[in-house]
Amino acid sequence: MQLLNLLVLAATTLGLQALAKEIVITVGGNTTDDAGAVFEPQTVVAEQGDVVVFNFTQGNHTATQALFASPCIPAYFVDETVNGFNSEFRNAGNFSAITTLPVVIDNPNVTIWFYDHNTCAEGGVGGINVNESSWETLDGFARNALRLNGTGYEDTLPTTTATRPTTTSTSNSTGTSENDATRVVKLGGAAVAPILALAIAFL
Ligand SMILES: *[C@@H]1O[C@H](CO)[C@@H](O)[C@H](O)[C@H]1NC(C)=O
Ligand SMILES: *[C@@H]1O[C@H](CO)[C@@H](O)[C@H](O)[C@H]1NC(C)=O
Ligand SMILES: *[C@@H]1O[C@H](CO)[C@@H](O)[C@H](O)[C@H]1NC(C)=O
Ligand SMILES: *[C@@H]1O[C@H](CO)[C@@H](O)[C@H](O)[C@H]1NC(C)=O
Ligand SMILES: *[C@@H]1O[C@H](CO)[C@@H](O)[C@H](O)[C@H]1NC(C)=O
Ligand SMILES: *[C@@H]1O[C@H](CO)[C@@H](O)[C@H](O)[C@H]1NC(C)=O
Ligand SMILES: *[C@@H]1O[C@H](CO)[C@@H](O)[C@H](O)[C@H]1NC(C)=O
Ligand SMILES: *[C@@H]1O[C@H](CO)[C@@H](O)[C@H](O)[C@H]1NC(C)=O
């Protein structure tokens, strides 16, 4: 009887482990011809409870959560309610200082967008659970990054990121419609002002 219980327990444990997958995104690809290659793969599909592990292997990069309409700015600068993840700068050298950032997926129905600070302006971006049938595609996100050319980030980067927790929370990256995206793209630099004001409010 005890043995049976043990077997059931073992099976249950194994079953649960099989349900929660670890999905690795390598950060450090050769970005000479394609900035998007910094993330390999650029998009992944994850279920609830899965852990997306950013594996920093080469070069100096970040994995920072953003909103669709503002690809190169930490999500929490744009929307305080989004406690997005941010690895901060990870200099992995040439496989000499490998580190990882695990991100637990709470809600697979919400797309999580992210970028690398140092290549974002050229399209160093990616996404978790991207819905390519919706308006918010990876291409659209990368286009926003190129058009905005990293706008706003340099102004908001310094002390503010250091004071934010490096979190694995993945709450809420929705709430930006294509209209928001278009508006930000059209406004260009003008959209930076409120973001900067928001950043200053953090200081
Ligand atoms: C990166 O890619 C470029 C262009 O394909 C190539 O010239 C360069 O040698 C590559 N760099 C490394 C470190 O592999
Ligand atoms: C990260 O990459 C290194 C080098 O390729 C590899 O040895 C390591 O297993 C990777 N880590 C994970 C969590 O996949
Ligand atoms: C990483 O890149 C950032 C921004 O380009 C830079 O400020 C920082 O000094 C770099 N870190 C290292 C260790 O080179
Ligand atoms: C990384 O190290 C390998 C082996 O030492 C070398 O062949 C390669 O050129 C290095 N890459 C970079 C980007 O320094
Ligand atoms: C995601 O959507 C599916 C289908 O609508 C639903 O069954 C599920 O509960 C949702 N998951 C979460 C975490 O909201
Ligand atoms: C993807 O987006 C399309 C168009 O908005 C929508 O009909 C569909 O339900 C979405 N799929 C998922 C899995 O959310
Ligand atoms: C993008 O930003 C960089 C650095 O701020 C600048 O050197 C470059 O000229 C900009 N490119 C465009 C197309 O505006
Ligand atoms: C997501 O954002 C919406 C609108 O800003 C808010 O009503 C909702 O509570 C947020 N959900 C989470 C899980 O933070």
Query: Of the ligands numbered here, which is closest to the C-alpha atom of 120?
Result: 7
Is residue 170 within 8 Å of residue 108, measured between CB atoms? no
Q: How many Å apart are CA 12 and CA 4, to the nearest integer?
A: 12
Residue 94 CB–ligand 5 contact under 6 Å: no
- Residue 15: predicted pLDDT: 56
Residue 48 CB–ligand 5 contact under 6 Å: yes
For the whole model, what pTM was predicted?
0.74
Mutate to test the pocket of ligand 6, among 43, 134, 137 (most ligand atoms within 8 A of CB): 134
Q: How many Å apart are CA 98 and CA 21, to the nearest integer?
A: 21
Which pairs from 7-13 meet CB under 8 Å and 24+ separation? Answer: none
> Which residue's CA is minimally distant from atom 10 of ligand 8?
172
Residue 179 CB–ligand 6 contact under 6 Å: no
> Which residue's CA is minimally distant from atom 14 of ligand 8?
172
Phi/psi at 94 (5° precision): -110, 75
- Residue 10: predicted pLDDT: 57
Which residues contact residue 198 at a Cβ distance below 8 angstroms, ignoring those fewer than 6 apart?
A: 77, 78, 80
Positive or negative torsion for Cα 129, 77, 56, 103: negative
Query: pLDDT digit string (tens) for 129-184?
Result: 999 999 999 999 999 999 887 765 444 443 334 334 333 434 333 333 333 333 33
Query: Of the ligands numbered here, which is closest to the C-alpha atom of 35?
Result: 1
Is residue 180 within 8 Å of residue 69, measured between CB atoms? yes
The pLDDT profile of the chain, 203 residues, written as one tens digit per residue, is 565 565 555 555 555 555 789 999 999 999 999 999 999 999 999 999 999 999 999 999 999 999 999 999 999 999 999 999 999 999 999 999 999 999 999 999 999 999 999 999 999 999 999 999 999 999 999 999 998 877 654 444 433 343 343 334 343 333 333 333 333 333 333 333 344 444 444 44
Q: How many Å apart are CA 74 and CA 64, to the nearest integer?
A: 6
Q: How many Å apart are CA 59 and CA 166, to the nearest integer?
A: 20
Q: Which CATH fold would you assign to the domain 17-156?
A: Immunoglobulin-like (2.60.40)
Compute the distance from residue 30 Cα to the ligand 2 centre, in Å. Answer: 17
Residue 183: its H or E element:
helix 178-187
- Token digits of residue 154: 């340099």
- Residue 24: predicted pLDDT: 98
Distances (CA, A) of 58 to 26, 31, 119: 9, 11, 13
- Token digits of residue 36: 């998007």
- Residue 103: predicted pLDDT: 98
Which residues contact residue 159 at a Cβ distance below 8 angstroms, ignoring those fewer than 6 apart?
A: 203
Residue 99 CB–ligand 6 contact under 6 Å: no
> Which residue's CA is minimally distant from atom 1 of ligand 7?
149
Residue 157 CB–ligand 3 contact under 6 Å: no
